Amino acid sequence: MSQETLQTLTWLIPAGPLLVFFLIVLFTRNNRTLSWVLAWAGVIGAMVLSWTIAFHMFGIYLGDDISHPHELLEHPVQIASSIDWLPIGDYANGTWLQLGVSVDPFTAVMLIMVSLAVVMIFIYSVGYHNYGKPPGTELGTPNHGKEEPLFSRFFALMSLFAGAMLLLVVSDNLLMLFIGWEIMGFCSYSLIGFWYAREYHLTPGAIPHIPPRKAAVKAFMTTRVADVVMLLGIVYFYRTFGTLNFSQALSAGSLEHAAMEIGVGMLGVMALLIFTGTVGKSAQFPLHVWLPDAMEGPTPVSATIHAAAMVSAGVYLIVRIFPLIAVAIEGTSAGWVIAGIGAFTALMAATIAVAQNDVKGVLAYSTISQLGFMVAAVGIGAYVAAAFHLITHAFFKALLFLASGSVIHGMEHGAEHVHDHHTDPQDMRYMGGLRKKMPITFWTFLIGGMSLSGLPFITAGFWSKDEIFADAFYLFQHDNSALGLIVFVMLGFAAFLTAFYTTRQISMTFLGEPRTPLAEHAHESNGFMTFPLVILAIFAVVAGWVGIPDNFLGTEGTFVNMYHHFVGATIEEPIAELYELHLVGHEIGTLPWSWWPLITSMVVALGGILVGYLVYGRKPLTKNQEDPLIRPLGPLHGFLQNKWYWDELYQAVLIRPVVYFSEVVVFEVMDKGIIDGIIHLVARVVYAIGRGAKATEEAVFGRAVDWVKDQFLSMTREVRQLQTGKVQEYVLVSGLIAAALAFMIIFLINYGWSQQILNWFQLTF
Distance linking the first and last C-alpha atoms of the chain = 117
Same domain, 525 and 657: no
Q: Same domain for 32 and 49?
A: yes
Strand partners, 147: 135
Q: State the average pLDDT for the chain.
A: 90
pLDDT band at residue 568 using 50, 70 and 90 as cut-offs? very high
* 296 and 384 both lie in a single domain: yes
pLDDT of 590 reads: 86
Indicate if 740 and 686 belong to the same structural domain: no
Give tens-digit pLDDT for 676-693: 889 999 999 999 998 988
Number of domains in the chain: 3
Confidence band for 663, pLDDT divided at 50, 70 and 90: confident
Measured over the CA atoms of residue 354, residue 356, residue 360 and residue 366, the dihedral's sign is negative
The answer on pLDDT for 753 being more than 60 is no
Task: Name residues whose C-beta falls within 8 Å of residue 498's C-beta, 6 or more positions apart in sequence.
Answer: 350, 353, 366, 369, 370, 452, 453, 454, 608
Q: Are residues 601 and 657 in the same domain?
A: no
Instruction: Determine the structural domain holding residue 675 and report its residue range.
Output: 650-720
pLDDT of 584-604, one tens digit each? 988 888 888 899 999 999 999
Is the pLDDT confidence value at 638 over 70?
yes
> Which of 113-127, 317-331, 749-763 is predicted least confidently?
749-763
Does some domain include residue 226? no
Q: How many whole angstroms separate alpha carbon 553 and alpha carbon 665?
A: 65
The pLDDT of residue 183 is: 94
7 and 61 together in one domain: yes
Q: Which of 111, 46, 104, 106 is nearest to 77 (CA)?
A: 104
Mean pLDDT on 502-508: 95
383/337 same-domain check: yes
Q: According to the model, what pLDDT value does residue 361 have?
A: 92
Among 327-331, 344-348, 706-710, the range scoring the smallest mean pLDDT is 706-710
Tens of pLDDT along 85-101?
A: 888 766 656 678 889 99
Residue 383: pLDDT band (50, 70, 90) is: very high
Say whether pLDDT at 307 is over 80.
no
Note whether 644 and 656 are same-domain residues: no
In-domain check, residue 600: yes
Question: What b/e readout covers 690-704, taking b as 16+ CB neighbours within 10 angstroms?
Answer: eeeeeeeeeeeeeee
- Rounded average pLDDT over 191-205: 88
Q: Is residue 205 part of a domain?
A: no
The pTM (predicted TM-score) of the whole model is 0.87
d(CA 458, CA 450): 9
pLDDT confidence of residue 571? 93
209 domain-assigned: no
Burial profile 312-347: b = 16 or more Cβ within 10 angstroms, e = fewer = bbbbbbbbbbbbbbbbbbbbbebbebbbbbbbbbbb
Percent of the chain at pLDDT > 90 equals 66
Q: Is 660 found in the same domain as 645?
A: no
Domain boundary (614, 649, 684) is at 649
Q: How far apart are CA 512 and CA 452, in angstroms?
A: 22
Note whether 282 and 354 are same-domain residues: yes
Q: Of the residues 589, 615, 649, which one is the last residue of a structural domain?
A: 649
pLDDT at 60 over 60: yes
The verdict on residue 232 lying in a domain is no
**Is residue 313's pLDDT more than 90?**
no
Give the pLDDT score at 697: 82
Question: In this predicted structure, what is the pLDDT of residue 88?
Answer: 79
Domain boundary among 622, 649, 676: 649
In a domain, 507, yes or no: yes
pLDDT of residue 765: 58
Residue 206 lies in a domain: no
Cβ atoms within 10 A of the Cβ of 422, count?
Answer: 8
**Residues 495 and 524 grouped into a single domain:** yes
Residue 65 falls within a domain, yes or no? yes
Same domain, yes or no: 13 and 122: yes
- Asked whether 168 and 184 are in contact (CB, 8 A), the reply is yes
